[in-house]
Amino acid sequence: MHILVTGGAGYIGSVVVEELLAAGHAVTVIDNLSKGHADAVPPEVELIRADLREPTRLRQILREARIEAVVHMAADSLVGESVQRPEKYYNNNMVAGLGLLDAMVEVGVLRLVFSSTAAVYGEPERQPIEETAATRPTNPYGETKLALERALAWYGGAHGLRSASLRYFNAAGASARCGEVHDPETHLIPLVLQVAAGRSPHVTVFGDDYPTPDGTCVRDYVHVVDLARAHVLALDGLERGSCTYNLGCGGAGYSVREVLDVAREVTGAAIPVRVGARRAGDPAVLVASSTRIEKELGWHPRPGALAKIIDSAWSWMRAHPHGYAHN
């Protein structure tokens, strides 16, 4: 198929593009490069530098490139910022998302894989979290992602749009070509590795008084390459209808202190730590049950996860000490 990847110059998007190509699909990327990097897009893929909120351009791209399916990853995705600036998230995640759906329906592109998030669950009552758990987002980021998920269900009924909403837990790691470069960086693993590389003096642990075994937050880190492979499976799965899947590694997850310990083993660096205040909006534990996608689509994240994830990110960082060459 010819697939349009929105946000394909971003961290996860660039790896999804690699996996789609490896599966034999043709790919076009649309990205406004607000956060993405032109160099993250493989040279054989057309990168259209445009904003999703350009409706005429969007329809033209869908028609002229004869797009058959869309992987929609373009979004703003910082939980804290979304609380400070809800309008930015309602605009870019919900309004722009709805504009994309309208363009797709008008042009007759009726297959979509959507990047959703564990943030739709808010503070879940039970771990691991199943897709049937209550969705009660605690920030505008999760709220706007959930709003688009719900719109997808209604557009499906009315217009025959088939969709897969993939609720990612914590994406981490790198492929051989693509790694995580955000400015500012807010994610734990790249921040820890910046300290290991001597670029920052210490990691701040956001709270050590959570009701968890060592007092720090527990998360479910999933290798970005495994995550990307799920998109290929989800596209194939659309033949059977619409669906919603969690994407995590399950198990017990890893606390912030466990992440630090594994990073020390992988890098051989001391990685000094300071304990700071809790970060607003951080649930204590977020661990996925990914049983549904394992059973229905045969997706299996690779075992031995965290050390391999951190090792891949560390290798990429050392090979690309200045990140990407262009934006």
Ligand X SMILES: O=c1ccn([C@@H]2O[C@H](COP(=O)(O)OP(=O)(O)O[C@H]3O[C@H](CO)[C@H](O)[C@H](O)[C@H]3O)[C@@H](O)[C@H]2O)c(=O)[nH]1
Ligand Y SMILES: NC(=O)c1ccc[n+]([C@@H]2O[C@H](COP(=O)([O-])OP(=O)(O)OC[C@H]3O[C@@H](n4cnc5c(N)ncnc54)[C@H](O)[C@@H]3O)[C@@H](O)[C@H]2O)c1
Of the listed pieces 107-115, 116-124, 174-182, 243-251, which binds ligand X according to CB under 6 A?
116-124
Neighbours of 198 (CB within 10 A): 8
Interacting partner of 35 out of ligand Y, ligand X, none (Cβ under 5 to 8 A depending on kind): ligand Y
According to the binding rule CB under 6 A, does residue 36 interact with ligand Y?
Answer: yes
Helix or strand holding residue 245 (H, E): strand 243-247
The residue (of 72 and 257) whose beta carbon lies closer to ligand Y is 72
Interacting partner of 204 out of ligand Y, ligand X, none (Cβ under 5 to 8 A depending on kind): ligand X
Residues 145 and 117: beta-carbon distance below 8 Å: yes
Q: How far is the CB of 206 from ligand X (least distance, A)?
A: 4
According to the binding rule CB under 6 A, does residue 309 interact with ligand X?
Answer: no
Of the listed pieces 126-134, 153-161, 174-182, 184-192, which binds ligand X according to CB under 6 A?
184-192
Catalytic residue list contains 245: no
Residues 212 and 205: beta-carbon distance below 8 Å: no
Cis before residue 128, ω within 30 degrees of 0? yes
Residues 157 and 210: beta-carbon distance below 8 Å: no
Pairwise CA distance, residues 161 & 153, whole Å: 8
SS3 252: coil
101: nearest Cα among 148, 56, 49:
148
Query: Residue for token digits 């160099």?
Result: 39
Say if strands 254-255 and 69-72 run parallel, antiparallel, or are unpaired. Answer: unpaired
According to the binding rule CB under 6 A, does residue 163 interact with ligand Y?
Answer: no
65-94 residues near ligand X, rule: CB under 6 A: 77, 79
Interacting partner of 291 out of ligand X, ligand Y, none (Cβ under 5 to 8 A depending on kind): none
The residue (of 35 and 162) whose beta carbon lies closer to ligand X is 35
Cα torsion for 261, 266, 270, 274, to the nearest 10°?
-40
The residue (of 240 and 302) whose beta carbon lies closer to ligand Y is 302
With 0-12 / 13-18 / 19 or more C-beta atoms within 10 angstroms meaning exposed / middle / buried, residue 141 is: buried
According to the binding rule CB under 6 A, does residue 117 interact with ligand X?
Answer: yes
The residue (of 275 and 292) whose beta carbon lies closer to ligand Y is 292
Which of 11, 121, 141, 254 is catalytic? The answer is: 141
129 Ramachandran zone, left/alpha/beta (phi>0; psi -120 to 50)? beta
The residue (of 219 and 231) whose beta carbon lies closer to ligand X is 219
According to the binding rule CB under 6 A, does residue 52 interact with ligand Y?
Answer: yes
Instruction: Give the residue at shortest CB distance from ligand Y.
Output: 10
According to the binding rule CB under 6 A, does residue 282 interact with ligand X?
Answer: yes
Interacting partner of 256 out of ligand Y, ligand X, none (Cβ under 5 to 8 A depending on kind): ligand X
DSSP string, 147-169: HHHHHHHHHHHHH--EEEEEEE-
Which residues lie across from 221 on neighbouring strands? 170
62-101 residues near ligand Y, rule: CB under 6 A: 73-75, 77, 92, 96
Interacting partner of 7 out of ligand Y, ligand X, none (Cβ under 5 to 8 A depending on kind): ligand Y
Interacting partner of 25 out of ligand Y, ligand X, none (Cβ under 5 to 8 A depending on kind): none
* Contacts with ligand Y, residue ranges (CB under 6 A): 7, 9-13, 30-36, 51-53, 73-75, 77, 92, 96, 115, 117, 168, 170-171
